[in-house]
Structure 1
Amino acid sequence: MRLVASDVDGTIMGHDGVITERTRAAFAAVQEAGVQVVFVTGRPTRWLAPLAEQLGHAGTVICSNGAVVWDMQQRALLGVEALDREAVLRLQEIIRDVHPEAAFAAECVTGLLLEDGFAQAHGDSRLKEQRSANLSEALGAEDKVVKFLAVSPVLTAEEFHALVAPAVGDLAHVTHSDARFALLEISAPGLTKARTLESYATSLGIAAEDVVAFGDMPNDVQMLEWAGEGYAMTGGHPQALAATALRAPACEDDGVARVLEGKLRELAGGGGSSGGNMSGNVSMGSDV
């Protein structure tokens, strides 16, 4: 284990926005042991404060499902892969054709643009005060859209994805990460958390086999498949659970902390990776 890559929401942080003391201690111990830590999240940069405030993280965060690489300490953009205005408007047209009830937003490097109806359909209170604007008018040629968002007020996330992904085809990557809303997160073609994580790990001279990753939702699938040890959170989305045989206990049971504590004991004892066996032990609730 040379690099720990963890999702945030539903993995180390519950809906209450709290990262537990046990999880904070586990990440601190991992870094003290000389292991690199990177958080890989669907969140935009403006929603990263909890990582600094609760974990004291001052390193790299891979944001917006891989579209943005962010330096927490310097508050600096290290890399971006985005959709341009014309691509976004084309995608919007395609989605409207297959689902006229959809509402849209564009997460840009410079902030969020919402169209009328998006905040109401999405239901996130953090969006209520956001100014609405027509994307065809608000987006400029210089705007970099790191996530194009589409929400359905009538479908489930799975139903919406099944409708939109085939229509979009290879024009973009379509995923979702919130069980509460039918919100699709649309990125540049082929862009996933895994692709950006692989580039980041390579820059550190770290191979996939030395990466331990954690996630719980469809936007984590490729990352869990790519990492040498990818742990799906117990109770996570079926697609995440199908991506790997390894399990961490649920977020509310400090699952990531339990796995990391076991990995640190391995490092201290000079043992090799125990893979699925170690995962099975923590899943049964040992070392509480």
Structure 2
Amino acid sequence: MNGIRLIACDLDGTLLDEQKQLPADFAHTLAQLAAREVVFCPASGRQYHSILALFPELAATMPVIAENGALVMMGERELASSCLARADVSELVAIWRGLVQQGLDVGAVMCGKRSAYVERGGTGFIDEVAKYYPRLEVVDDLAAVADDFLKLALCVPGSAERDIYPHFAALGPSLKAVVSGERWVDVMAAGVNKGRGLQQLQAALGIAREQTMAFGDFVNDLEMLDEAAHSYAMKNAHPAVVARARFRAPCNTERGVQRVIHSLLAGAAA
């Protein structure tokens, strides 16, 4: 595996197919990596419990970078987390409510360690949120919930980059917004991103940047790619990701991640 000991991989748009499913034989690929003592780490904006649902048999041992780097787990043990200050939670909820009052169709998900929370129901919105946050509660007031909050996720029916990101791009110094998908913007504590989560995992495992591979497709993957000497942008990636990564992988719909890994495994076996 050319000295690679850790693979960090985004999920939606990268590893998962258009039906949000893993490649059918990915369990075999994971077994091959484990046999060569290569650690595989999913790194996603998704809730931790959503990621575990994809890898249930590895829940006790697999490292996970969740909530765009705000939560890093080592198996079932929390390795690191970065939570929003309570004052920032109140400010963010107030900004969101103001946008709704102005007529903007935007849903908010307050993402806590225990659960994710929404104030509004509606089948379409709940169905979209549940794809990424299966542990979900509907509450009367997001700002009044007692939990440790990792981020605020905002969802729009159109383009998140165009329709919602500009409203959160210039927050105070304690907060940072990032476009995390076609319909999603995440707001986290300043300095939180997948790259920082990967750094924390590398330090815990004693693995260097030069021994790390990463795959991504969207702008919330940029910092993670920076922390991996072997960085891959998917063929279908955002232009900023293509410009930042050192290498290219086929599209997620063409099992691009798995094809790159299999090529490396074949080289190691030769």
Normalised by the size of structure 1, how large is the TM-score? 0.80
Counterpart pick for 1:150 among 147, 154, 158: 154
Cα drift, residue 124 of structure 1:
0.9
Question: In the alignment, residue 110 of structure 1 is paired with which amino acid?
Answer: R
**Residue matched to 1:268:** 269
Q: How does 1:212-231 map to 2 (within 5 A)?
A: 212-231=213-232
Equivalent position of 2:190 in the other structure: 189
- Indicate the residue corresponding to 2:112 in structure 1: 108
Does the CA-based 8 Å contact 1:95-1:164 persist in structure 2? Answer: no
Residue 276 of structure 1 corresponds to none
Match of 1:136 in 2: 143
Identity of aligned residues (%): 27
Corresponding residue for 1:26?
Answer: 29
2:69 is matched with 66
Distance 1:260 1:199, change over 3 A: same
In structure 1, how many angstroms separate the alpha carbons of the residues matched to 2:26 and 2:234? 14
1:49 corresponds to 2:24: no
1:3 deviates by 0.8
Residues 36-91 of structure 1, C-alpha deviation per residue, up to 9 Å, x if partnerless?
Answer: 2211111112212343247788311111111112244xx34333211032111113
* CA–CA separation in structure 1 for the residues paired with 2:170 and 2:72: 29
Do 2:249 and 2:256's aligned partners in 1 also have CA atoms closer than 8 Å?
A: yes
Q: Distance in 1 between matches of 2:83 and 2:122?
A: 21
1:160 maps onto 2:191 in alignment: no
Question: Shift in Å at residue 195 of structure 1?
Answer: 0.5
- The 3 A distance-change label for structure 1 pair 67 and 11 is same
Residue pair 2:230, 2:247 contacting (<8 A) in 1 also? yes
AA aligned opposite 1:108: G
Contact in 2 for aligned 1:94/1:167 (Cα 8 Å): no
Structure 2 SS opposite 1:86: helix
Give the letter for the 2:111 counterpart: E
Report the CA distance between 1:112 and its aligned residue. Answer: 1.2
Task: Give the alignment of 1:219-258 within 5 angstroms.
Answer: 219-258=220-259
Q: Deviations over 1:225-258 (max 9, x none)?
A: 2210111111122232222141111112111111
Conservation of the 8 A alpha-carbon contact between 2:234 and 2:249: yes
Match of 2:14 in 1: 11
Question: Which structure's relative contact order is higher, taking Cα pairs within 8 Å and 6+ residues apart?
Answer: 2
Q: Quick check: 1:230–1:246 contact (8 Å CA) kept in 2?
A: yes
Instruction: Give the C-alpha shift of residue 98 in structure 1.
Output: 6.5
Q: Distance in 2 between matches of 1:211 and 1:30?
A: 13
**CA separation of 1:240/1:122 partners in 2, compared to 1, >3 Å: closer, same or farther?**
farther
Q: How many residues align?
A: 261
Q: Structure 2: give runs of 5+ residues left out of the alignment.
A: none
Q: Which residue of structure 2 lines up, in the alignment, with residue 279 of structure 1?
A: none
Contact kept in structure 1, 2:17 and 2:23, CA below 8 Å: no
Q: Is the 8 A contact 2:165 2:177 kept in 1?
A: no
Distance 1:243-1:259 versus aligned 2 partners, 3 A rule: same
TM-score (norm: length of structure 2): 0.84
Question: Is 1:89–1:136's contact at 8 Å kept on the other side of the alignment?
Answer: yes
